[in-house]
C-alpha cells in the first residue's frame, strides 16, 4: 500500500488500523474545547509529523493518520477529509478552508480489478504557504508548489506550480 501498489482494503491488519484511527477520531473530534496545546498533543498521538502550532479544527476525518505530515503553523478548518493510504504532506503555514478533501486513495480504471476489491494510492504534496479555499478537492498524486492558491470548490487533478493560482473544475492555472 505505502509503495503505491495495489492492495486490498479488506486486509485484516489495515482494518484494525482503520478501527484504531476511528476510535482516536472520536476522541479528537469530541475535544473541541481543549486548549491548543492539548489538541496539538492529541494530533501527535496519531499523525506522522505535526509541526509546532499546527491546527486541525474538528470535525476531522482520515483513514490512518500515520501517513499525514503537517508543517509548523499549518491550519485545517472544519470538516476536512484526508484519505491517507499513502503519504500526504502539508507544508508550513499552509491554510486549508472548511470542507476540503485531500484524496490520496485511488482505484483501478479496470472494472474487474475494482470488483476484486483492490485499490492503490498516490502521494499528495502541498507546499508551504499554500491557501486552499473551502470545498476544494485535491486528487491522488497532485503536488501544489509553495505559495500556490487553490480557489474554493476547485477540483485539482494536476500539479500546480509554485506561486500559481488554480480555479475551476477541473482546476486550471490562471495567468
> E-assigned strands of the chain?
7-8, 49-50, 55-56, 60-62, 68-70, 75-76, 80-83, 88-90, 95-96, 101-103, 105-106, 118-121, 124-126, 131-132, 137-138, 143-144, 149-150, 155-156, 165-167, 172-174
Report the C-alpha dihedral over residues 58, 59, 61, 64, rounded to 10 degrees.
Answer: 40
pTM: 0.95
pLDDT surpassing 80 at residue 35:
no
How would residue 7 be classed by pLDDT, with cut points 50, 70 and 90?
Answer: very high
Q: How much of the chain exceeds pLDDT 70, in percent?
A: 98
How would residue 73 be classed by pLDDT, with cut points 50, 70 and 90?
Answer: very high
Does 107 qualify as catalytic in the annotation?
A: yes
Cβ neighbours for 21, distance < 8 A, ≥ 6 positions apart: 46, 62, 63, 64, 65
> Each residue of 117-166: pLDDT tens digit?
999 999 999 999 999 999 999 999 999 999 999 999 999 999 999 999 99
Q: Which carries the bigger pLDDT value, residue 38 or residue 77?
A: 77
The one catalytic residue among 61, 107, 122, 125: 107
Instruction: Show the domains of the chain with their CATH numbers.
Output: 7-174 (2.160.10.10)
Which whole-number Å values give the CA distances from 73 to 9, 40, 64, 140, in the listed order?
32, 11, 22, 24
Amino acid at each position: 500500500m505505502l509503495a503505491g501498489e495495489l492492495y486490498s482494503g479488506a486486509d485484516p491488519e489495515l482494518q484494525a488500523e482503520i478501527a484504531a484511527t476511528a476510535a482516536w477520531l472520536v476522541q479528537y473530534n469530541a475535544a473541541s474545547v481543549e486548549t491548543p496545546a492539548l489538541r496539538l498533543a492529541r494530533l501527535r498521538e496519531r499523525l506522522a509529523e505535526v509541526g509546532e502550532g499546527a491546527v486541525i479544527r474538528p470535525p476531522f476525518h482520515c483513514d490512518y493518520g500515520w501517513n499525514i505530515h503537517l508543517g509548523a503553523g499549518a491550519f485545517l478548518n472544519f470538516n476536512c477529509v484526508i484519505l491517507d493510504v499513502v503519504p500526504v504532506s502539508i507544508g508550513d503555514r499552509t491554510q486549508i478552508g472548511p470542507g476540503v478533501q485531500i484524496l490520496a486513495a485511488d482505484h483501478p480504471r479496470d472494472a474487474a480489478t475494482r470488483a476484486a476489491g483492490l485499490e492503490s494510492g498516490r502521494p499528495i504534496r502541498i507546499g508551504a504557504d499554500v491557501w486552499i479555499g473551502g470545498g476544494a478537492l485535491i486528487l491522488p498524486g497532485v503536488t501544489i508548489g509553495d505559495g500556490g492558491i487553490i480557489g474554493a470548490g476547485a477540483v485539482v487533478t494536476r500539479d500546480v506550480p509554485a506561486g500559481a493560482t488554480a480555479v475551476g473544475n477541473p482546476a486550471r492555472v490562471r495567468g
